[in-house]
Amino acid sequence: MGGGESTPASEPNAEMERWKERNRMREEEEAEERERIFDKILRCIIASDRREDSRQSEARVS
């Protein structure tokens, strides 16, 4: 029961840590992508509102 037992036990732990890190990085990338999509949608909504406001202003002037 020497140091030989620590190596097999540490390998699954190291693999689990690598898996956790990859998973964390993937989750961060997905969160960033969701944020970019949300920003695009928000910009589209704002632009649409501005166009509608502009049309209403033109209708009032006419």
- Tens-binned pLDDT, residue by residue, of the chain (62 aa): 455 555 556 788 999 999 999 999 999 999 999 999 999 999 999 999 998 888 888 777 66
Residue range(s) defining the domain that contains residue 9: 3-61
Our count of domains for the chain comes to 1
Residue with tokens 């049309």: 55
29-31-33-37 Cα dihedral, nearest 10 degrees: 180
Element containing residue 24 per DSSP (H, E): helix 6-61
pLDDT at 54: 84
pTM above 0.85, yes or no: no
How far is residue 45 from each of residues 2, 12, 51, 57, 62, measured CA to CA in Å?
66, 49, 10, 18, 26
